Amino acid sequence: MFKALRIFILLTILIIVAASTYLSQLRATDWDAPLWVSIYPINGDDSPEAERYIKHLKKDNFRDIEIFMAEEAEYYKVPIKNPIIINIENKLTEQPPSPPASRSIINIMLWSLKLRYWVFTHGSGSGPAPDVQIYVVYYAPTNNKILAHSLGLEKGHIGVVHAYAGQRYTRKNNIVIAHEFLHTLGAVDKYDIATNYPLFPLGFANPGSQPRYPQKQAEIMAGRIPVSKNEAIFPGNLYRVVIGKQTAKEINWLPE
């Protein structure tokens, strides 16, 4: 009897969590009101450079992302003037849990639960309750040559971005933040994971252009501009990036 009751309670909790996640996703992509996006800066290497950069962060540092989303929404005739509003929270001193080295389903599920619990205990802030939480871990460029892979989780609307601290990197950081933000809304990657080269045609900003190369812009979920059949470059800012039609469908800007 006790075992049956325990199973019933666990199933009830799972159903509640699943229903809450589903309703949250519907709310995030119905676009009848702006989404509140909270950004939490973290000093990833305890460097003075990252500390100084974080200390001087302002909302204007992320303005490119708000403009990008507004212009792309207007292009797709989404009936909302400002799709997102970004709020900067106070610096956190603890980093989110890292993804497991072994990417088995069980390990990924356990890590996802651990991350969501970490966010639950580190997600309070001064502004309105956020719809999406992005944790940006900054590193001094001189100390770190290659950054860990950034990620965005649709379940929980959580993003973890690894970025370089420095004004010269701000606009490139914003591309990564926008990419992971769109992951939290259901957008999927459109590049070859082995080569980082954009997939044709979904990963091309203008797949119908003649000649095909060089492309002038990047598709946000592909992340790079294909300039030849074998070369793609990272754009310098979000003004050289677009949301492609398939991505627009995935975030409910176009009908399937």
Phi, psi (5° rounding) for residue 239?
A: -75, -10
Closest CA to 112 of 11, 244, 17, 36: 17
**Together in a domain, 71 and 167:** yes
Looking at 186, 205, 236, the residue that finishes a domain is 186
Do residue 96 and residue 205 come from a single domain? Answer: no
Q: Which of 138, 158, 186 is the last residue of a domain?
A: 186
pLDDT for position 23: 45
Residue that the structure tokens 């009751």 belong to: 5
Mean pLDDT over 137-160 rounds to 89
pLDDT of 123 reads: 67
pLDDT at residue 156, as a whole number? 87
Q: Output the pLDDT for position 108.
A: 82
Averaged pLDDT for residues 152-165: 94
In a domain, 13, yes or no: no
Task: Among 167, 186, 205, give the residue marking a domain's end.
Answer: 186
Please count the CA atoms within 13 angstroms of the CA of 71 that sit on its side-chain side: 13
- Specify whether 148 is located in the same domain as 65: yes
Residues 66 and 142 in one domain: yes
What pLDDT, on the 0 to 100 scale, is given for residue 26? 46
At 76, which CATH number? 3.40.390
Helix, strand, coil fractions of the chain, as percent rounded to 5: 40, 15, 45
Contact 234, 223 (CB under 8 A): yes
Query: What domain range includes position 103?
Result: 31-186
Indicate if the pLDDT at residue 221 is higher than 60. Answer: yes
**Count of domains observed in the chain:** 2
Half-sphere exposure (CA, 13 Å, Cβ side) for 133? 23
Query: Token pair of 9, please?
Result: 């309670």
Full-model pTM: 0.88
Question: Are 182 and 209 in a shared domain?
Answer: no
pLDDT, one tens digit per residue, over 48-98 is 999 999 999 999 999 999 999 999 999 999 999 999 999 999 999 999 998
Give the least confident one: 52-61, 67-76, 99-108, 203-212: 99-108
* E strand or H helix at 152: strand 151-153
Look at residue 253 and tell me if it is in a domain.
no
Rounded CA separation 182/171 (Å):
17
Region 186-202: mean pLDDT is 96
- Angle between helical axes of 63-75 and 170-184 (0-180°, round to 10): 50
